């Protein structure tokens, strides 16, 4: 999409030359010559000024492109209060339990807790933190619309949180949350529970938006919600002590620290000393600050059940509470279980109740992990001197991990959509719509979305700025294509889904076109991931844009590189575009011809097949002769560091030593025809235990590869260098199922499907039973979960695998 990149400097020279050549006349009077020279001089100055202006405005134009939105109609038309059923929700996946609305300017509510006795060592629980070492936590049931039910285990207590909504009225209706604390050791140890309300940077605080406490009730006002109240009503059990504070916090990311600073030691007849909430000293000192954080602390005897009842002023229907809450929740639970079985048929397939429960938890935590974010990414292009802010935008999206990655990731969301769409195509399309509205005028979408200070506080600095040269696999496009192909009835003319797809189409096309132009390789029909950087330290420079981070590629990044996975992604993207265009009754020819060209096996083989190893591979400037050496820094204070040493010069060649997921892409994305002889070769190698096959799923990299489970730098452990990843195993299973249906390899594909499915499902379930979590990846050596947890992003695809749904 970047057209018309002029070379202003050259044009300037050209014009100089022209104007000076016209001063060649010699037989003119001194005066006229002077005039003539003067006018030439003026013309010259004028031209130069003009060219400088053109240059500057061209630069300015190029500079602003990176953060200029695409000029097409937005896909999301109805937002906030216009979609009442979806207005309130657990849209704060990064905290253990919190509520907010789908409004860019929403107050937030949430929970903290700490053990009275052990507070010194265990600290205050608030944001989902791996270091809290909870035995398990996560949504057990969550339908994305009406309710959710979560279990948090923090010995010696179990905390169950749930919520229900009563939508309606002008201001988003009511909701009720329930916090149910039981003790697991039978000793009924007291617990300190905190419920708070807060206004984030989007609302500020002051005349338009306020929070305060009156007689133990949290009260507030915002322009969108009008007046609201939050009553804390104990349902079971006793409150031993209650305190609250009205305070100012500088951002949502410091609520826990702010809370901590508000505690004062008080005397209590039964407990001796007790930490209670006191006034905020800072608020008094600084008259510019207004109350934006109101925590209410309850010291409770367990078992204890609290109803948190949020009501809006002008809505006469009473909120759900007490025993009615218990009954309604039981009803919704029953309905959820019924719908889950209808959709996935796991009981019918013979899974035990325990396994079905894990599958429900996996899907519910993905759906319960959906957040609503608002803010501006930091982005950079080659024309911006400094990173610049993207436009402020809202993003409704699932997240890969509530503890470690509580924000949106572009290619992950494509995988999430496969499972979410099976549960609710409405939610899937709504999420995709929000992502597609983030397209800039070039057709680019930033790959990681860090919106708002709460999200920003959890991202290491070096990952914040997003470059507009960076791609990420177009899985989201494939998933929309998949929904259109498998559920064409949803997109009938004049249906609401059809309207959404209509608005999506120009955006999908711009995104697709961006890939085709910016990620092209040197050779015809080849493609190359951008953003690889040889810093002399990494054993093999990372390819973060491919999604497979440290998966080994050519050792020396260069423009001659071609990446087989990206070429296959582009095949699948062209196919998805053709599918979508066909349903919308639009021109499909150009997508089909690209797809057919990229599906031409002879062309693919010319670029990527190694007759020597009988495998597909990347091509580039490569050597396997790399190793780490310790190098003494010139500055003696800095000591030594480990750098890469190249022992054999690189050559242009296929990177055949990196056999792994990348080599499988022509099968994974079904580029190969069922009759393909090369498909037969891939299938032959698939179940070799010294290569990719493990009892826990397919490893990302062959055990025989020189970089198998090798660190990439001194401080960078292996990531996609042998571990088993659920998303690629899902693609492999989908492909094996596809090739089981026809062709000479059908029988082999079918046997591999059964064996691989058994391995993947057994291991993910047994690791959940052993540890209470789904993981980012699993060891190819012993099957143990590794990376972060809970990871109910694409690992939750285990539900679709159990259900044989592809
Ligand atoms: C609280 O949780 C316990 C344990 O699951 C359950 O038995 C009890 O019925 C719950 N109480 C309420 C009021 O929901
Ligand atoms: C629970 O469901 C039953 C049957 O669907 C219905 O009659 C009843 O009113 C529901 N109760 C509540 C509290 O929602």
- pLDDT tens across 335-394, in order? 999 999 999 999 999 999 999 999 999 999 999 999 999 999 999 999 998 999 999 999
Tokens of 777: 């990846």
Please indicate whether residue 486, judged by its CB atom, sits closer than 6 Å to ligand 2: no
Residues 321 and 399 in one domain: no
pLDDT reported for residue 205: 60
Does any ligand 2 atom lie closer than 6 A to the CB of residue 331? yes
Tell me, yes or no, whether 110 and 205 share the same domain.
yes
Closest to 159 (Cα-Cα) out of 146, 150, 167, 170: 150
Instruction: Tell whether 67 and 85 lie within a shared domain.
Output: no
Residue 762: CB within 6 Å of ligand 1?
no
397, 434 contact by CB (below 8 A)? yes
- Please indicate, yes or no, if residue 642 is contained in any of the structural domains: no
Q: Which residue from 180, 303, 304, 322 has its CB within 8 A of the most atoms of ligand 1, so it is best to mutate?
A: 180
> Which range has the worst mean pLDDT, 26-35, 303-312, 600-609?
26-35
The whole-number pLDDT of residue 203 equals 76
Q: Return the pLDDT at 289.
A: 76
The closest alpha carbon to 583, from 493, 474, 477, 496, belongs to: 493
* Cα end-to-end distance, the chain, whole Å: 34
Residue nearest to atom 5 of ligand 2 (CA): 331
Residues in the chain: 806
- 776 in catalytic set: yes
Q: 191 CA to middle of ligand 1, Å?
A: 17
Ligand closest to CA 179: 1
Q: How many CB atoms lie within 10 A of CB 1?
A: 16
Cα–Cα distance, 171 to 79 (Å, whole number) = 13
User: Nearest CA to 225 among 197, 193, 253, 184?
Assistant: 197
| pLDDT beyond 70 at 443 | yes
CA–centroid distance, 279 to ligand 1, in Å, is 35
Alpha-carbon dihedral sign for residues 682, 473, 779, 713: positive
Residue whose CA is at the smallest distance from ligand 2 atom 12: 328
236-250, 258-272, 305-319, 336-350: segment of lowest average pLDDT: 258-272
Mutational pocket test of ligand 1: of 149, 151, 191, 305, the residue with most ligand atoms within 8 Å of the beta carbon:
305
Instruction: Please name the residues in contact with 780: beta carbons below 8 A apart, sequence gap of 6 or more.
Output: 694, 696, 697, 699, 700, 703, 722, 723, 724
**Residue 13 confidence (pLDDT):** 36
User: Of 36-40, 132-136, 256-260, 719-723, which range is least confident?
Assistant: 36-40
> What average pLDDT does range 577-591 have in this prediction?
98
Residue 553 lies in a domain: no
Q: Is the CB of 546 under 6 A from ligand 1?
A: no
Give the span between the Cα atoms of 666 and 616, in whole angstroms. 8
Tell me the C-alpha distance between 185 and 484, whole Å.
Answer: 51
What distance in angstroms lies between residue 176's CA and the mean position of ligand 1's atoms? 16
Does 229 have pLDDT greater than 50?
yes
CA neighbor of 399 nearest in space, from 5, 790, 1: 790
Residue keyed to tokens 């099976």: 422
Ligand nearest to the CA of 330: 2
Cβ of 735 less than 6 Å from ligand 1: no
Task: Indicate whether 51 and 178 sit together in one domain.
Answer: no
With the C-alpha atoms ordered 710, 712, 716, 719, is the resulting torsion angle positive or negative?
A: negative
Q: Whose CA is nearest to atom 14 of ligand 2?
A: 328
Q: How many CA atoms lie within 13 A of 465 on its CB side?
A: 15
Q: Please identify, by atom number, the ligand 1 atom nearest to the C-alpha of residue 160.
A: 2
Residue 134, classed as helix, strand or coil, is: coil
pTM here is 0.92
Give residue 34's pLDDT band: very low, low, confident or very high (50, 70, 90). low
Ligand 1 geometric centre to CA of 669 (Å): 47
Is position 393 within any domain?
yes
List beta partners, residue 698: 693
Q: Which residue do the tokens 């309207």 mark?
A: 499
Spatial CB neighbours of 539, under 8 Å, sequence gap ≥ 6: 626, 627, 628, 644, 707, 710, 711, 712, 713
Residues 294 and 422 in one domain: no
As given in the structure block, the two tokens for residue 477 are: 């496009």
Quote the CA–CA distance of 544 and 499 in Å, as a whole number: 35
Mean pLDDT of 242-262: 95
Rounded to 5 degrees, φ, ψ at 717 are: -70, 160
Cα(331) to centroid of ligand 2, in Å? 6
Q: What pLDDT is stored for residue 743 in this prediction?
A: 97
**Ligand 2 in contact with 328 (CB < 6 A)?**
yes
> Could you check whether the bond before residue 303 is cis, i.e. omega within 30 degrees of 0?
yes
The structural domain count of the chain equals: 2
The catalytic residue among 103, 412, 437, 776 is 776
Distance CA 513, CA 507 (A): 10
Rounded Cα gap, residues 413 and 30, in angstroms: 76
pLDDT, one tens digit per residue, over 37-66 is: 667 777 777 788 777 777 777 777 888 999
Q: Is 754 near ligand 2, meaning CB less than 6 Å away?
A: no
% of residues, the chain, pLDDT over 70: 94
Residues 382 and 326 in one domain: no
Torsion angle in degrees (nearest 10) through CA of 505, 511, 514, 516: -70
Peptide bond preceding 631: is omega within 30 degrees of 0, i.e. cis? no
The answer to the question of residue 176 being in a domain is: yes
pLDDT at 19: 36
Residue 130 — very low, low, confident or very high, per pLDDT cuts 50/70/90? Answer: very high
Per-residue model confidence (pLDDT) at position 46 = 78
Task: Report whether pLDDT(188) > 80.
Answer: yes
User: Ligand 2 mean position to 173 CA, how many Å?
Assistant: 21
Q: What is the mean pLDDT of residues 543-548?
A: 97
Distance CA 565, CA 619 (A): 11
Q: Which of 147, 153, 160 is the best mutation target for the ligand 1 pocket, counting ligand atoms within 8 Å of the beta carbon and taking the most? A: 160
Q: For residue 289, is it within any domain?
A: yes
Judgement on whether residues 217 and 326 belong to the same structural domain of the protein? yes
Give the Cα separation of 577 and 140 in Å (integer). 36
| Nearest CA owner, ligand 1 atom 10 | 180
pLDDT score of 29: 52
Contact 115, 337 (CB under 8 A): no
Instruction: Give the closest ligand to the alpha carbon of residue 331.
Output: 2
pLDDT band, residue 9 (cuts 50/70/90): very low
pLDDT in tens, 277-290: 999 988 877 777 78
Task: Tell me, in angstroms, the distance from the centre of ligand 1 to residue 304's CA.
Answer: 9
125 and 225 in a single domain? The answer is yes
Q: Which residues of 536-571 are buried (b: 16+ CB within 10 A; e: fewer)?
A: ebbbbbbbbbbbbebbbbbbbbeebbbbbbbbbbbb
Tokens of 354: 């325990």
Three-state DSSP state, 50 = helix
- For residue 690, give the nearest of 679, 680, 702 by alpha carbon: 702
**What does the alpha-carbon distance between residue 295 and residue 297 come to, in Å, rounded to a whole number?**
6
Where is the domain boundary, 323, 344, 365? 344
Inside any domain, residue 427:
yes
**Cα 95 to middle of ligand 1, angstroms:** 22
Residue 584: which pLDDT band, with cuts at 50, 70 and 90? Answer: very high
Mutate-to-test residue for ligand 1 from 181, 182, 233, 304, highest number of ligand atoms within 8 A of CB: 182
600 annotated active-site: no
Asked whether the beta carbons of 434 and 474 are under 8 A apart, the reply is: no
Residue 96 sits in the same domain as residue 65: no
- Asked whether the predicted pLDDT for residue 16 surpasses 60, the reply is no
Q: Which of 518, 549, 568 is the last residue of a domain?
A: 518
Distance 330 CA to ligand 2 centre (A): 9
CA of 358 to the centre of ligand 1 (A): 20
Q: Whose CA is nearest to atom 3 of ligand 2?
A: 331
Number of H-type helices and E-type strands within the chain? 20, 33
For atom 2 of ligand 2, the residue with the nearest CA is 331
Pairing of β 393-397 and β 388-389: unpaired
Identify the pLDDT of residue 8.
Answer: 32
Catalytic residue among 266, 337, 499, 549: 549
Lowest mean pLDDT among 37-51, 226-240, 485-499, 788-802: 37-51
Q: What is the pLDDT of residue 283?
A: 82
Q: What is the pLDDT of residue 736?
A: 98
* Closest to 755 (Cα-Cα) out of 799, 712, 701, 695: 695
Residues 337 and 393 in one domain: no
Hey, whose CA ends up nearest to atom 1 of ligand 2? Answer: 331
330 lines ligand 2 (CB under 6 A): no
| Atom 1 in ligand 1: residue holding the nearest Cα | 180
The answer to whether 658 and 705 have CB atoms below 8 angstroms apart is yes
* Buried b / exposed e along 227-245 (16+ C-beta atoms within 10 A): ebbbbbeebebeebbebbb
Q: How far is CA 452 from CA 8, 471, 544, in A?
A: 38, 23, 23
pLDDT at 119: 53
Burial of residue 69 (CB within 10 Å: 0-12, 13-18, 19+) is middle
Does residue 589 belong to any structural domain of this protein?
no
How far is 505 from 508, CA to CA, in rounded Å?
5
Same domain as 385, residue 269? no
Ligand nearest to the CA of 178: 1
Q: Name 272's bridge partners.
A: 268
Tens digits of residue pLDDT in 686-732: 999 999 999 999 999 999 999 999 999 999 999 999 999 999 999 99
What average pLDDT score do residues 200-229 get? 87
The CB of 327 under 6 Å from ligand 2? The reply is yes
Q: What is the per-residue pLDDT for 38? A: 66
Say what the pLDDT of residue 6 is: 31
| pLDDT beyond 50 at 292 | yes
Q: Is the CB of 326 under 6 A from ligand 2?
A: no
- Residues with Cβ within 8 Å of residue 403, at least 6 apart in sequence: 94, 128, 129, 130, 788, 789, 790
226 torsion bin: left (phi>0), alpha (psi -120 to 50), beta (else): left
Computed over every residue of the chain, the mean pLDDT equals 92
Domain stop point among 492, 518, 544: 518
pLDDT at 458: 87
Say how many Å lie between the CA of residue 348 and the centre of ligand 2. Answer: 26
For ligand 2, the distance from its centroid to the CA atom of residue 340, given in whole angstroms, is 19
The residue range of the domain holding 274 is 81-344
Digit-coded pLDDT (tens) for 459-505:
988 889 999 999 999 999 999 999 999 999 999 999 999 999 999 99
Given CA atoms 721, 722, 723, 728 in this order, what sign does their dihedral have?
A: positive
Q: Which ligand is nearest to the CA of 305?
A: 1
Domain match, 266 and 205 both: yes
Closest residue by Cα to residue 650 from 768, 742, 534, 502: 534
Rounded to an integer, the average pLDDT of 403-411 is 95
Q: Which atom of ligand 1 is nearest to the CA of 180?
A: 1
Ligand nearest to the CA of 162: 1
Residues 6 or more apart whose Cβ sits within 8 Å of residue 558: 620, 621
Q: Is there a domain that residue 113 lies in? A: yes
> Of 638 and 139, which is predicted with more confidence?
139
Q: What is the CATH number of the domain that holds 185?
A: 2.70.98.110
Which helix H or strand E contains 466, and what residues bound it? strand 465-467
């Amino acid at each position: 999409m970047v057209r018309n990149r002029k070379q202003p400097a050259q044009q300037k020279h050209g014009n100089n030359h022209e104007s000076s050549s016209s001063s060649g006349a010699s037989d003119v009077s001194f005066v006229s010559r002077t005039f003539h020279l003067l006018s030439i001089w003026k013309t010259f100055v004028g031209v130069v000024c003009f060219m400088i202006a053109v240059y500057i405005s061209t630069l300015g134009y190029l500079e602003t492109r990176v953060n200029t939105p695409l000029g097409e109609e937005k896909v999301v038309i109805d937002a906030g209060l216009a979609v009442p059923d979806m207005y309130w929700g657990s849209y704060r996946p990064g905290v253990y339990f919190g509520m907010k609305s789908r409004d860019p300017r929403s107050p937030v509510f949430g929970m903290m807790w700490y053990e009275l006795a052990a507070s010194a060592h265990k600290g205050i629980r608030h944001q989902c933190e791996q270091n809290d070492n909870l035995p398990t936590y996560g949504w057990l049931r969550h339908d994305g619309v009406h309710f959710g039910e979560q279990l948090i285990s923090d010995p010696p207590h179990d905390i169950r949180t749930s919520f229900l909504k009563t939508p309606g009225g002008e201001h988003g209706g009511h909701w009720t949350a329930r916090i149910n604390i039981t003790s697991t050791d039978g000793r009924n140890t007291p617990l300190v529970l905190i419920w708070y309300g807060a206004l984030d940077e989007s609302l500020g605080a002051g005349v338009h938006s306020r929070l305060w406490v009156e007689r133990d009730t949290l009260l507030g006002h915002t322009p969108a919600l009008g007046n609201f109240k939050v009553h804390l009503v104990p349902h079971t059990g006793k409150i031993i002590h209650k305190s609250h504070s009205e305070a100012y916090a500088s951002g949502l990311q410091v609520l826990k620290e702010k809370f901590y600073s508000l505690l004062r030691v008080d005397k209590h007849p039964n407990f001796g000393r007790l930490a209670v909430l006191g006034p905020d000293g800072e608020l008094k000192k600084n008259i510019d600050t207004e109350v934006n954080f109101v925590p209410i602390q309850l010291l409770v005897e367990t078992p204890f059940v609290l109803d948190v009842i949020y009501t809006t002023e002008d809505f006469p229907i009473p909120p759900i509470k007490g025993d009615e809450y218990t009954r309604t929740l039981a009803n919704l639970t029953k309905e959820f279980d019924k719908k889950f079985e209808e959709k996935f048929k796991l009981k019918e397939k013979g899974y035990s109740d325990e396994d079905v429960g894990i599958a429900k938890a996996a899907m519910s935590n993905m759906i319960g992990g959906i957040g609503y974010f608002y803010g501006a990414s930091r982005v950079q292009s080659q024309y911006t001197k400094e990173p610049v802010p993207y436009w402020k935008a809202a993003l409704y999206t699932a997240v890969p991990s509530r503890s470690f990655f509580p924000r949106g990731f572009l290619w992950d969301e494509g995988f999430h959509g496969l499972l979410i769409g099976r549960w609710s195509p409405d939610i899937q399309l709504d999420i995709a719509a929000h992502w597609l509205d983030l397209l800039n005028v070039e057709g680019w979408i930033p790959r990681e979305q860090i919106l708002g200070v709460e999200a920003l506080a959890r991202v290491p600095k070096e990952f914040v700025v997003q470059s507009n040269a960076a791609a990420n696999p177009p899985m989201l496009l494939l998933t929309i294509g998949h929904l259109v192909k498998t559920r064409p009835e949803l997109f009938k003319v004049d249906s609401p889904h059809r309207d959404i797809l209509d608005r999506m189409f120009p955006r999908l096309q711009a995104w697709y076109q961006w890939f085709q132009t910016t990620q092209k390789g040197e050779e015809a029909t080849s493609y190359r991931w951008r953003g690889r950087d040889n810093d002399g330290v990494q054993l093999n420079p990372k390819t973060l844009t491919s999604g497979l981070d440290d998966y080994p590629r050519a050792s020396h990044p260069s423009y001659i590189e071609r990446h087989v996975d990206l070429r296959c992604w582009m095949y699948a993207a062209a196919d998805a575009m053709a599918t979508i265009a066909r349903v919308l009754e639009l021109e499909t020819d150009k997508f089909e011809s690209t797809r057919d060209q990229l599906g031409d096996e002879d062309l693919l083989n010319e670029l990527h097949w190694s007759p020597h190893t009988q495998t597909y591979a990347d091509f580039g400037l490569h050597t396997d002769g790399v190793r780490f050496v310790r190098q003494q820094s010139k500055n003696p204070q800095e000591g030594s560091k480990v750098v890469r040493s190249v022992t054999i010069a690189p050559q242009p060649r296929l990177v055949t030593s990196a056999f792994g997921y990348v080599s499988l892409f022509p099968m994974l994305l079904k580029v190969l025809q069922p009759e393909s002889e090369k498909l037969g070769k891939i299938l032959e190698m698939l179940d070799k235990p010294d290569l990719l096959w493990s009892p826990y799923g397919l490893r990302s990299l062959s055990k025989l590869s020189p970089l198998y489970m090798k660190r990439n730098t001194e401080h960078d452990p292996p990531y996609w260098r042998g571990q088993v990843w659920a998303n690629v195993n899902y693609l492999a299973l989908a492909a094996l199922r596809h090739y089981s249906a026809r062709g000479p390899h059908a029988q082999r594909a079918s046997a591999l499907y059964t064996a691989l499915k058994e391995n993947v499902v057994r291991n993910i379930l047994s690791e959940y039973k052993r540890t209470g979590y789904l993981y980012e990846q699993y060891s190819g050596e012993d099957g143990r979960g590794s990376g972060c947890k809970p990871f109910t992003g694409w690992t939750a695809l285990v539900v679709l695998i159990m259900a044989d749904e592809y």
